[in-house]
Structure 1
Amino acid sequence: MTSSLNPAENPAAVPAHALRFGRCVLQPHTRELWRDGEPVEVQRLALDVLLYLVAHPERDIPKEELLRKVWGEAEVTESVIARAVMKLRRAIGDEQQPPTLLRTVHGVGYRWLVAPQPCAASAVTAAPSTLPQICLAVLPLQMPDAPELAWAQEGLPALLGHLLGAHGQVRLVDASQLQQADLPHATWPERAANVRVALGAQWVLQARLSGQAGALQLQVHANPDQLEGPQQRFNSDSVPGLAEQAARWLSSLWAATPERAQTLEAATLELLARSSHEVHHGHLATALALLREAQSLSPDSALVGLELANVLRLTGELAQAEAAAEQSWSLVTAMPEDQRPAALALKVRVSQAKLAHARGELLRARHYLDLAAPLVKVVPGRQDRAEWAIFSGSLAHSMGQLDLAQSELESAVSLLAGSDNVLLQVRSRVLLADVLGQRGLVTRAAELLQRAQQLLTRINAEPTRASVQLYFAALNKRRRYFTLTLAQLEQVRAVYERVGHAYTVWYCRATRVEVLTELGQLRQAEQDALELMDDAQAWRAKGALPLPDVDLLMPLRLAQIQWLRGEHAESLKRSIKALAAALQSEYLSGVVLSLQMRVLSQCLSLDSHAQAAEVQAQLRLNGDPLLQARLQAMQALASGQVDLGVQVLREAWNSGPSHAAMRMDAAIDLAWLALAQGLPQELESLMAHIDDECDEYLPAIVVRARYLDHQGLRHEALSELQRIVQMHAESSLRLVRAAVQALQQGQPWPEARSLLTEAVRD
């Protein structure tokens, strides 16, 4: 990884020795950063910024200087600096307020606060050593015309994965990913080359199965896009026998030994292979029966228990799935420590986390992922570590922990940098884009989605392209480009109806209800919501009911429609009833919290103190000082006690890190109140935080405009607000339009009775 800094131009930027600051050690020559003795993944440009800052400590460095020294001639805007600084703060652990290493100098740039101290390279603790991982893809088998052997199509590759991959040195490409990347009508060499590009497979197998049961032959050509690739024939009376011979041959090519977790009888292996075939084709009941038979034959097999747990999760039998996963984990830990299969252990822990997630028990899911973290460090292969980071980031997002979600997903993107696994690169980017969009970093989110689209031009994967389009729709909804969002939702819905993915179809329809509501098309929104709730009954009858938000969120959407019609009392009654039901699902905790705050704001705006108290009693504050402060501030503002609102928000803000989304909103609300009350001592650190964290988040833009006016730049403030109105022409944005009118007429800014973030959303 090369730096964009030029050492000849600035020798001090690349000293020969390691540098220590805070809890970190930086090795400039190898471009490695360590914190608390552990290596830290840092995005290239963020590291370039760090190198320049530590070379110029205790000096205010203007943004223009950083752009010139780090980005050179690249045509970029100042927003790239804020994004790099965000990543840098996370890497060095300097996210507290006030910062101890890197301070934002509002209106100027940044200042590195401490002079780094030289130290010996031995001060750095070595990272855990790992062997390189081999990524193996098995193209669909050429098969004899023998229906009794059809299960070998997916079964034989699955067996190779079980026989070779217990410790993680060999990673078998998932059959569903292979299906998206394969070009079935192309030649074998072309297919192999495409799989390499799409999925990062170093080894691709072309295989032909011939003969009949009892006299089978398997012909294998490794890397068929290379004429000189190794080839071999195997003979056996069974498919498991062929798989075991092929595994030994491949291991000899890689100078490795087969990594089977436990010795299994041929009958058990065949049942595992048959179940893989049935799962691939959606025959879950048949797969379950096969795995139960396999468990009866091999009750002490951790692998069989894991496969059983995964299929039980798919069929919705979560209690039985948890029991199977727990038994599988017990069998893994019962093995001698030096023989314990790390990759299998990791898969069991991740399976337990997925089961907890499916039950809505997000704290338990996080517990299992934390238990898996040490295993991630010892399993070879960046892709396995990236998949773990993706799951961890997605879980953090579900829990509303946006700081952790962004950090984990940025780590996944970094781990996959340079990887040929296009599908994983795309997945990590779209999930990170979703988190950034929720934080208001819309420009960066759009860049990530555009990059994901570019990556997908390399492979044929229509559902994946549709999923990227779906994330674009979500981003455009946040931007309030509602007409464009509706068009994108219909395109995505058409693709997923064709492939039969019920949950994504439901998500498109539910989002359409939300967008129609924002547009003021309330009759159509209500009709769509009622139809969606009716359709949920049919899904339930088929055993295909999506995640629990079908019956829980639509009543809240209907309540919002009533509110916008002016039916306030009926709306609040329905909202409170629906919130009480939604609170039973931990899966919806992040969404429900936002809806609770909105309903509470509505109660207070109507002086419905009894109903406000009822909503407040249900709030899951979990001791979070910022959530409690925003609640108190909302109540204080409703009663006209602005000073009290400022006081409680200030105390909570100074208490340290908290719920990420609420911390951003609290900074905006406190800055707004400080401007309204003429309290300039609050503004520098608050505006620096807002500048670092948000670009197109509407409340952030509004408070920036007011700050410009506070500095005497009324024309610039008015231009910023008019830009917002033009960008969001489909939205009412009453407060913003009132502010534009006030500035044009030289009048004071309009004040929101509620918090600014709630007022702008409404």
Structure 2
Amino acid sequence: MARRYRFGGFRLDPATRELWQDDRPVVLPPRLFECLLWLIEHRDRAVGRDELIAAVWGRSAVTDNVLAQVVARLRRVVDADARDSAIRTVPRFGYRWVAATTVESAAAPGAAGPPAGTGRQRRGRRWRAVALGGLAVLLLAVSIAWLRVPVAQRADAAARPAAVLPVERVAGAGEEWMRLGLMALVGDRLRDAGQPVVPDESVVAIVGDAAPDPAAVAAALAGAVPPLLIAARVEATEGGWRVRLQAVGEPDLVSVGDGADLLAAARAASDGLAVRLGHAPAGAAPGPAAFERLLLEVEAATLAGETEAALRLLDTADARQRETPEWRYRAAWTAFVAGRLDPAEAGFAALLEDLPADAPVMRARALNGLANVQYEREDLTGLARSAEQAVALLRGHDAPGELGRALMGQAVAAHRQGRTEAARQGFFQARLALERAGDPLGVARANLSLGIVDARQGRLPDALVLLQDAAQRLAALRSAHDELLAHVHVAHVHLLLLDPAAALAQAEPIARLGGRVRSPRAQVLADLTRAEVLLANGRLDAAGELLRRWCATGCDGPERLPLALARRALGGDIDATLPDLRTALAGLPAGEGGRDAGRAWLAVLAARRTGGAGGAAIAGLRAWAGDAPAATAEVRLYAALAEAEYAAGQGRPAGDAYAAAWREALAGAVPSDLLEVADAYVGWLIRQGDLAGASHVAGHLAGWAGRDFGSALLQLRLRHALGHPAAWRAALAQARALAGERPIPAALQVEPTAPAIGTTPDPAQEGPGLLGDG
């Protein structure tokens, strides 16, 4: 790296791995140095503890306590007060570098030369053969221009991910495919030379069909390290073609290629720019020119979203070309993009059968392609196997983009299989690899996945930071489907935090993005989330309209369970939604469904309180919760609450069961779960005449009563039971302000005359309660 960082009296040089204070060196152990460097390089944001552990140690066995000790030692070195004047603690998240820091250029170490062979391979669109003679001529041709670019400038630019813009065709020169096809060629040549390059797909998503606006692209790709934008233009000359590459804002970083052959001119310009950036060029022409052009035209069509045109182009290949690994990979991938899973799966599998063992990166690419198909088919076992094999093949090879995608596949499989912590660590590792590869879309998707995992683990503040960051990045990158998922999960986290107004702010982007995506399931998810948000804000009519649209055909599909729960919340008619709830629960594997399943079982138990079927309902719930290999916190909580409700309904002692459910809720610290348990527990305590106990439990929810109707209603019920008119009137006013179109029970609107205090009855005399068996 060719940057040095100055802060206070310190100078940090990443290239030489030295820290100086004034004129004396400061010796830091490797882990401390890496931790310090990571914090400084990512000083534009807070860094989570898990990210820092993954970046410095590369594994999950290191505890937060070890990290805290490392940070404490760093503070003793760089902080004047050994506290947090330079490294600030971000509560419940991690750390942030806040010391005033300046960046200066540093000459690259003189002994550094072109990297030795590392097994680096191109993404594999095209073949290549090494022609040493041609390489020597090229190096000689660009040597004079190389000397004109300062060493520090070359190294600084090389450390930034390059983003190649669509090629400008001067005076309409050439054919339309050149706009994206030559962009892909330039990106490949730079990537093969060792330069991090933003994936073409990300650039095209930002630019679209318009002329590229460098400022807009730079803003969309903005990160800890700003991208190096490469403007490209092609024009016809008397002798053939001229391709000019210019780093935007870097007047000395320019390279021109001339030649009778267009692709040769583009390669010359690309390799010249690679040399100016401090890299050894990629090598000679990758095979026959006609075949190279065909693959570039296919790539251009795919980038433009014209998959059918890409498939037609592939069909024009001759028999010999169809035998090449590149054609076979491209055919399988294009079939996958077109939604043709059968030929895509067959193509990737056959390619893997024929690829030699000494082509690890190409094999990993094929495995990643196969993993995509397996994900679409919900084949989690196959997905995990393919991703694991790809990760193993890529270890020791400089292919961070492919490694990041393989790690993402591995983590997705772990998440879907319930191995949440393994998934979390996998997403962290994937993000690091994708960040190194210069893949902003991959990084945003990793953040989205991490946010979803954190929400599932109850780390709601952490999840909110990651999900909001992902939504912002994905919006800039024009990834509508992923941005929709980010907003959906942001809304769900706000609902879990009992902040319905904040969740409502997500309704507009969810509606807008839901209208843009093509996936029917994503559209259902968008409308269902909007309905849940509207219900939480008391807008029953608007929510009902959305639900009726999707339930007109019977609320079928993967979202049957949350749809049924939303319908129940809308009308309060348990019997009307009972068939949907029972059907959804009947097909649910043990331990799956989490919070939604737990609430659905509670609803089924409530619906059967007078039908003599409570025993069958609780048996079904026990099978769901008890047969899970390792019950999650959500499952344990709702199983405990259901046991308490069932015992109370049977007139049996229920206090211990309610207390157990309450302990689970307190341990999880998810506000919506606290409310779910408190609502039932407080009602039972009031019926027992234990107003002190009811006050204690309800007090945990008092902080949310100003913004959440359920919490406000709980406080109203308590104040009514306590018989304090003034407090009751204030609680009633608060509940009415939040009710919207939701009713408040008539009994709670009658001013209390005396506290509802009595002796605690014998459990056997409690009466039928909620779940009597008749």
Find 1:350's aligned residue among 364, 368, 382.
368
1:713 and 1:533 map into 2 onto residues whose CA distance is 42
Partner of 1:256: 280
Rg larger in 1 or in 2? 2
| More RCO (CA 8 Å, sep 6+) | 1
Extract unaligned runs of 5+ from structure 1: 7-14, 19-25, 56-67, 86-127, 537-548, 647-668, 677-682, 753-758
- Aligned partner of 1:553: which letter? E
Partner of 2:257: 233
Partner of 2:105: none
Give the conservation status (yes or no) of the 8 Å contact 1:456–1:465. Answer: yes
Question: Does structure 1 residue 699 correspond to structure 2 residue 724?
Answer: no
Question: Does structure 1 residue 429 correspond to structure 2 residue 434?
Answer: no
Partner of 1:726: 706
Deviations 1:327-354 (A, max 9, x none): 232343x15x2xx252x33332222222
Give the conservation status (yes or no) of the 8 Å contact 1:426–1:452. Answer: yes
Deviations 1:689-721 (A, max 9, x none): x66x646564399789999x99x9998865432
2:625 and 2:338 map into 1 onto residues whose CA distance is 31
Pairs within 5 Å for 1:668-747? 673-674=659-660, 694=669, 696=671, 698-699=673-674, 719-729=699-709
Partner of 2:70: 51
1:30 and 1:479 map into 2 onto residues whose CA distance is 36
- Aligned partner of 2:497: which letter? R
Find 1:362's aligned residue among 380, 383, 390.
380
Partner of 1:125: none
Aligned-pair CA distance for 1:498:
5.9
Identity %: 16
Question: Does structure 1 residue 326 correspond to structure 2 residue 349?
Answer: yes
1:415 and 1:694 map into 2 onto residues whose CA distance is 33
Partner of 2:327: 304
Question: Does structure 1 residue 139 correspond to structure 2 residue 139?
Answer: no
Find 1:268's aligned residue among 291, 294, 301.
291
Give the conservation status (yes or no) of the 8 Å contact 1:215–1:236. Answer: yes
Partner of 2:493: 475
**Shift in alpha-carbon separation, 1:748–1:440, aligned structure 2, 3 A:** farther
Aligned-pair CA distance for 1:139:
1.2
1:428 and 1:327 map into 2 onto residues whose CA distance is 30
Partner of 1:218: 242
The DSSP-based 3-state class of the residue aligned with 2:242 is strand
1:3 and 1:706 map into 2 onto residues whose CA distance is 55
2:628 and 2:540 map into 1 onto residues whose CA distance is 37
The DSSP-based 3-state class of the residue aligned with 1:380 is coil
1:626 and 1:366 map into 2 onto residues whose CA distance is 22
Partner of 1:207: 232
Aligned-pair CA distance for 1:722:
0.8
The DSSP-based 3-state class of the residue aligned with 1:231 is strand
The DSSP-based 3-state class of the residue aligned with 1:726 is coil
Partner of 1:63: none
Partner of 1:373: 391
Partner of 1:40: 59
Give the conservation status (yes or no) of the 8 Å contact 1:482–1:515. Answer: yes
**Shift in alpha-carbon separation, 1:519–1:296, aligned structure 2, 3 A:** farther
2:293 and 2:674 map into 1 onto residues whose CA distance is 59
**Shift in alpha-carbon separation, 1:285–1:609, aligned structure 2, 3 A:** farther
Give the conservation status (yes or no) of the 8 Å contact 2:444–2:470. Answer: yes
Give the conservation status (yes or no) of the 8 Å contact 1:533–1:554. Answer: no
Question: Does structure 1 residue 178 correspond to structure 2 residue 196?
Answer: no
- Aligned partner of 1:442: which letter? L
Partner of 1:157: 183
The DSSP-based 3-state class of the residue aligned with 2:515 is helix
Aligned-pair CA distance for 1:285:
1.6
Deviations 1:573-603 (A, max 9, x none): 23333456x76xx9xx997465444433333
Find 1:512's aligned residue among 513, 530, 536.
530
**Shift in alpha-carbon separation, 1:388–1:724, aligned structure 2, 3 A:** farther
- TM-score with structure 1 length normalisation? 0.63
- Aligned partner of 2:249: which letter? D
**Shift in alpha-carbon separation, 1:449–1:322, aligned structure 2, 3 A:** closer
Aligned-pair CA distance for 1:624:
0.7
The DSSP-based 3-state class of the residue aligned with 1:232 is strand
Aligned-pair CA distance for 1:612:
3.7
1:596 and 1:299 map into 2 onto residues whose CA distance is 50
2:576 and 2:404 map into 1 onto residues whose CA distance is 48
The DSSP-based 3-state class of the residue aligned with 2:700 is helix
Partner of 1:575: 581
Moved more, 628-637 or 553-562: 628-637
2:556 and 2:280 map into 1 onto residues whose CA distance is 50
Question: Does structure 1 residue 277 correspond to structure 2 residue 300?
Answer: yes
Deviations 1:288-312 (A, max 9, x none): 2223444844233333333222222
Question: Does structure 1 residue 557 correspond to structure 2 residue 563?
Answer: yes
- Aligned partner of 1:699: which letter? L
**Shift in alpha-carbon separation, 1:462–1:604, aligned structure 2, 3 A:** closer
2:324 and 2:232 map into 1 onto residues whose CA distance is 28
Aligned-pair CA distance for 1:436:
2.4
Give the conservation status (yes or no) of the 8 Å contact 2:196–2:437. Answer: no
- Aligned partner of 1:441: which letter? R
Question: Does structure 1 residue 624 correspond to structure 2 residue 597?
Answer: no
Aligned-pair CA distance for 1:421:
6.3
Deviations 1:714-760 (A, max 9, x none): 988654321133342267876x866777789789999x9xxxxxx9x
CA RMSD of aligned residues (A): 5.8
Aligned-pair CA distance for 1:396:
3.9
2:453 and 2:507 map into 1 onto residues whose CA distance is 19
- TM-score with structure 2 length normalisation? 0.62
1:747 and 1:388 map into 2 onto residues whose CA distance is 64
Give the conservation status (yes or no) of the 8 Å contact 2:448–2:486. Answer: yes
The DSSP-based 3-state class of the residue aligned with 1:447 is helix
- Aligned partner of 1:528: which letter? L
**Shift in alpha-carbon separation, 1:27–1:197, aligned structure 2, 3 A:** closer
2:558 and 2:661 map into 1 onto residues whose CA distance is 39
Partner of 1:599: 600
Aligned-pair CA distance for 1:356:
0.9
Give the conservation status (yes or no) of the 8 Å contact 2:274–2:281. Answer: yes
2:719 and 2:444 map into 1 onto residues whose CA distance is 40
The DSSP-based 3-state class of the residue aligned with 2:368 is helix
**Shift in alpha-carbon separation, 1:721–1:302, aligned structure 2, 3 A:** same
Q: How many aligned positions are there? A: 615
The DSSP-based 3-state class of the residue aligned with 1:234 is strand
Partner of 2:43: none
2:28 and 2:273 map into 1 onto residues whose CA distance is 44
The DSSP-based 3-state class of the residue aligned with 1:326 is helix
Give the conservation status (yes or no) of the 8 Å contact 1:476–1:482. Answer: yes
2:556 and 2:625 map into 1 onto residues whose CA distance is 21
